Amino acid sequence: MNKSVFSGKNSVLDYLNPDKNEYIPLVEIPRVLNPFYNDKVRIYTKLMNTLPLTNVKSLPALNMLFSSKDLGELDQVNTLIENSSGNTVLSLAVIGKLLGIDHTKAIVSNEVSRGKLNLLRLFGVEVIVNKEAICPDPKDKTSGIYKSKILASKHKDWFNPGQYTNENNPKAHEKWTGPQIWDQTEGEISIFCAGVGTTGTIQGTSKFLKSKSNSITTVGVSRIPNNPVPGVRTKNLLEEIPFIWKQYVDELVEIGTKESFKSSLDLCRFGLVVGPSSGFAFEGLLKFLKKQNNLDKFRNKNGEIIAVFISCDSPIPYVDEYFEYLGESEFPKIENEYLLPKNSKSEISTFNTDSKYEISVRKAYNMIFKSNPNIVWSQVLSDKLVEINKNIKILDIRKKNDFLHYHIPGSLNIEYEDLEDNISKYVDILKSNKIIVVCNYGISSQSASKMLRDNNIESYSVSGGMSEWSRDDLPRWKPDICNLYQ
């Protein structure tokens, strides 16, 4: 019996090493969350969040550093540097420290949240903030990936593992994740599903599984444009990845922010404490299954379909985002809330909003534009003037950087806090118009819309915000480089 005791000078490294530890759990999801249970579809999740460093990226980090150490590449190294704002560089910092490498530096985008920065600092990562173009060209010398390579080349005692090009990223999953899943399902797995970011997980795991059985179907999940989910990419952004992941993926489906966080919430509430990228993979698997006209082709010799999706990490770093993306309706109300300190201005309440003033993105579109979406798209892409219906104003209350990234053509950007602080000034600007208010996810726009109605201005909040507008691929102005890479 393995009593999971690790002793001696390499105790923690042994604890982190899957070769010297028990299998990562594979758990069947509760029946209530499986709409295909009566069709004999058994859905399991591989809980990579139960790894010692609580995230899937710790495996490639371990494999990249162990392989480099075996080759002698780390002999004189005292600093690791990687372009990462999350689990990869966090894992590199811990493993590096155990290998005698005192410093780990992360090049992060200036758009990274303060919460993520503090998490990295908690683990001793030295953060270098990098200002990049909103949608950086992968060949751009200002990009974090490029800079991390150059900085490492200029210092003989620095090392850049390079997760986006290092073959030991996918090989980690070929070595550990794939063999474990095959063994745990006793070779009866039918469908494997994972989100695609650096593509290391899906390439390595699928490569091993397909070497065992050509009948296994691999489903990759990419994110819908302008729908943030941690660690995964859009279809277009995946074109930047040099790994040969496409050889091992049979179908690619797209999933957005809201359903990812909602599925993660459901899994958490039934005892599987996993983050939004896990909900993302689960939703991708369900979407794939719903598309099938005939499930029988996936059945094993026992007449069942064994489907496995990857759960990447914990929900803990993203707690605030659940409330931002899903809204208060998904959470229990707080009794006697009046006893708490008053909300700061940065906390936006939606308790007293009126749903009759919330409109769908399609209704908003028809209120705003004279022409159909194809015509407006062509006008946007050719820099022609886009006509907006008379007496309509589009008020985008997102942060300026979000607005510059992409926005509805013809919209006016007034940040929420500015609107709140200077409402009397903006009432004069907006009066005599019907106002369509949009934010990222349709939460703060409800409060802003009510604020305007309280000042006798007819206003409506767009349900789902710019995330939903992008999901429907409605016209958006974007910088030229974003049109290429996002």
Q: In terms of Cα–Cα distance, which of 193, 274, 197 is closest to 230?
A: 197
Task: Kindly list the distances between the CA atom of residue 346 and the CA atoms of 417, 420, 427, in Å, as whole numbers in the listed order.
Answer: 7, 10, 21
CB atoms within 10 A of CB 52: 16
Q: Give which of 191, 207, 407 is closest to 305, Cα–Cα.
A: 191
Residue 346 is predicted with a pLDDT of 46
Q: What is the pTM of this model?
A: 0.88
**Do 133 and 41 share a structural domain?**
no
Rounded to whole angstroms, how far apart are CA atoms 278 and 399?
28
Question: Which of 55-64, 338-347, 381-390, 469-478 has the lowest average pLDDT?
Answer: 338-347
Domain of 65, CATH number, reads: 3.40.50.1100
Q: Has residue 183 been placed in a domain? A: yes
Q: What is the pLDDT of residues 222-241, one digit of tens each?
A: 999 989 999 999 998 898 88
Q: What is the pLDDT of residues 191-217, one digit of tens each?
A: 999 999 999 999 999 999 999 999 999
Residue 43, sorted as left (phi over 0), alpha (psi -120 to 50) or beta, turns out to be beta
Question: Would the pLDDT of 136 be above 60?
Answer: no
CB 185 within 8 A of CB 205: no
For the chain, percent of residues with pLDDT exceeding 70: 94
- Reduced to 3 states (helix: H, G, I; strand: E, B; else coil), residue 184 is helix
- Count of Cβ atoms closer than 10 Å to residue 237 Cβ: 18
In a shared domain, residues 249 and 373: no
Taking 90 as the threshold, does the pLDDT of residue 409 lie above it? yes
Structural domain boundaries enclosing 150: 58-159
Domain annotation covers residue 97: yes
Q: Are the C-beta atoms of residues 252 and 270 closer than 8 Å to each other?
A: no
Cα–Cα separations (whole angstroms), residue 438 to 60, 223, 261, 466: 40, 21, 20, 7
Q: How far apart are CA 231 and CA 224, in angstroms?
A: 13
- Boundary residue ending a domain (269, 295, 320): 320
pLDDT for residue 178 is more than 50: yes
Model confidence at 419: pLDDT above 60: yes
Tell whether 223 and 367 lie within a shared domain: no
Say what the pLDDT of residue 485 is: 46
Q: Which residue reads 């590096």 in tokens?
A: 96
Question: Residue 386 belongs to a domain with what CATH number?
Answer: 3.40.250.10
Write down the residue that tokens 């996936």 correspond to: 298
pLDDT at 131: 84
One domain, residues 137 and 183: no
Strand partners, 27: 45
Q: Is 75 inside any structural domain?
A: yes
Which percentage of the chain shows pLDDT scores above 90?
80
Same domain, 49 and 62: no
User: Which of the listed ranges 123-127, 129-133, 227-231, 326-330 does the model predict with the highest average pLDDT?
Assistant: 123-127
The CA-CA-CA angle for residues 460, 438, 405, to 5°, reads: 165
**Average pLDDT for residues 443-454, to the nearest whole number?**
93
| Mean pLDDT of the residues in the chain | 92
According to the model, what pLDDT value does residue 52 have?
A: 96
Residue 337 CB coordination number (10 Å): 10
Number of domains in the chain: 3
> Considering 159, 179, 212, which residue would you say is the last residue of a domain?
159
Q: Which residues pair with 407 in a beta bridge?
A: 477
Residue 57 has pLDDT above 90, yes or no: yes
